Structure 1
Amino acid sequence: MAPTLRTERLLLEPYVLEDEDDFVTLFRDGQVSQWMGNGPASEAEYRALFGRIFTKVYAQDLFDVWAVRRNGRFAGHAEIKPADVAEGHEIIYALTPDLWGSGLGRELAEAIVAHGFDTLGLGEVYATVAAPNGASLAVLDRIGFEHVRDMAEDDGSITRVLRRRAAGPTRQG
């Protein structure tokens, strides 16, 4: 199970069953879902995805995934997981739109990256971002990610693959 992480303003902790409605609301928000996975999905698909966090991800200890909280309320989603497209571990994060522009995206991304380097012992971490998602690209640029390559998607869109390398010795990679 994912460890609890704390930043100055955020708490990242494993999901609990009571988070399901907040999770579904986050991912059903068009401003969020346009940048996540394959885009918007149905409520039933998001509820099934939430269920798999418990029945698969946590049950099999596959990777770290968190509910993000601010001042005790649900504020977003975060994970770090192996990803073939990135040839390593990829960070994924989303905040509720009411928190965008507050610097919390940077704080959240930094926390996930630090966990990858310091706890998981990774030598590098990746992120994949839709080319038009300027806000996420700017956040990742500010915290030291570099552009590796672009991937053309089946629908003709472009996904940017970014990487950040650890500064010092690591246990892996």
Structure 2
Amino acid sequence: MTPELRTDRLVLSPYVASDESEFVALFQDRLSGRWFWEGPDPEPEAETRALFGRIFSSVYAENRWPIWAVRHEGRFIGHAEIKPSPLPRLDGHEIVYGLTADSWGQGFGTEVAEALTSYGYRELQLDEVHATVSAENSASLNVLKKLGYVHVRNIPEDDGTTTQLLTHRRASDTVRP
């Protein structure tokens, strides 16, 4: 079950069916959604809607990993999750988050990443938490480095871009418990 998480200003709560349009808008947005895409363009809207449906039919129904809607003052501003990493040769969990473009620059990314990292240590008993971020996403890279994530390696992508793997280890935990 996905528990509710709270930070100073945010509530991370399980998605509800009425979040579909905001989820789709986030994932389809050319500014904020591009960090979720695998390629230069968003998936067709129908595929994004199907992805939202799988949160309920697969991830929540099978209790696979926690996925949250991120809200500030009751308003949807993003998506967050901590899940087993799909990377080969990486046995661990990674955090995933994205915020609406109109919520950028307010420190919300730091709050979300900090909450996810702390959840990984406290609730999942992880010794380390990973993140994979496009090398072009300097805002997220800065957030993660500020929280103590360390660059481990670059991962070349088929489209010529580079993804960075970053890791935060419990021993150097700078995230509030």
Q: TM-score range by the shorter chain?
A: over 0.9
Match of 2:115 among 103, 111, 115: 111
- Deviation, structure 1 residue 34: 1.5
**4+ aligned runs moved over 4 Å, structure 1:** none
Report the counterpart of residue 14 of structure 1 in structure 2. Answer: 14
Q: Which sections of structure 1, spanning at least 5 residues, go unmatched?
A: 169-173
Gaps of 5+ in 2: 173-177
TM-score, scaled to structure 1? 0.94
Counterpart for residue 25 of structure 2: 25
Change in Cα spacing, 1:37 to 1:120, as seen in structure 2 (3 Å) is farther
Identity among equivalent positions (%) equals 55
CA distance in 2, matches of 1:167, 1:102: 29
Distance in 2, Cα, partners of 1:136 & 1:100: 10
How much has 1:144 moved relative to structure 2?
Answer: 0.4
Residues 1:65 and 2:67 aligned together: yes
Distance 1:33 1:19 in 2: 16
SS in 2 for 1:102: coil
- How far apart in 1 are the matches of 2:33 and 2:158? 18
1:37-56 equivalences in 2 (<5 Å): 37-39=37-39, 40-56=42-58
The worse-fitting range, judged by mean Cα deviation, of 62-71 and 28-37 is 28-37
Kindly tell me the number of residue pairs found equivalent between the two proteins.
169
Q: Secondary structure at the match of 1:51?
A: helix
Q: TM-score scaled by structure 2?
A: 0.92
1:128-147 CA-to-partner distances (Å, cap 9, x unmatched) read: 00111111100000000000
- Provide the rounded CA distance (Å) in 2 between the counterparts of 1:64 and 1:111: 12
One-letter amino acid of the structure 1 residue matched with residue 110 of structure 2: R
Shift of 1:84: 3.0
Amino acid in the other structure paired with 1:130: S
CA distance in 2, matches of 1:8, 1:150: 33
Q: What residue number does 1:171 align with? A: none
Provide the alpha-carbon RMSD of the alignment.
1.4
SS in 2 for 1:167: helix
In 2, the alpha carbon distance for the partners of 1:76 and 1:101 equals 14
